[in-house]
């Protein structure tokens, strides 16, 4: 199943941020709480943590792109855990 990684509300003020850098790349496995990217608000840089678990299939915005709260940042595919004892 493919899910969208959405930009959460970062601060009470402003709904637009600029992507500074991605800390994960297409193909990387992520878990809930992993820092996936850094964004810049008008006042401060903020690390954005994943709310999803899986493999990043597609990153939709490059560094320096301006994005708004609620925008889709990346597409993530759920990854089935390896079953124990499987050969």
Domain boundaries along the sequence of the chain:
2-77
Give the model's pLDDT for residue 11: 72
Q: What is the pLDDT of residues 43-75, one digit of tens each?
A: 889 999 999 999 999 999 999 999 999 999 999
Judge whether 5 and 26 are in contact, CB under 8 Å: no
The partner residues of 59 in beta bridges, in order of sequence, read: 74
Q: Which has more pLDDT, 86 or 25?
A: 25
CATH number, span 2-77 = 2.40.50.100
Give the model's pLDDT for residue 19: 97
Gap between the Cα atoms of 56 and 25, Å rounded: 7
Residue (of 62, 61, 82, 63) closest to 4 by Cα position: 61
């Amino acid at each position: 199943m493919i899910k969208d990684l959405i930009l959460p509300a970062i601060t009470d003020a402003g709904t637009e941020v600029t992507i500074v850098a991605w800390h994960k790349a297409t193909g990387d496995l992520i878990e809930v709480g992993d820092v996936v990217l850094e964004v810049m608000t008008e006042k401060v840089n903020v690390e954005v943590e994943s709310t999803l678990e899986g493999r990043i299939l597609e990153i939709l915005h490059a560094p320096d792109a301006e994005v708004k709260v609620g925008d889709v940042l990346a597409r993530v595919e759920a990854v089935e855990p390896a079953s124990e004892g499987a050969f």
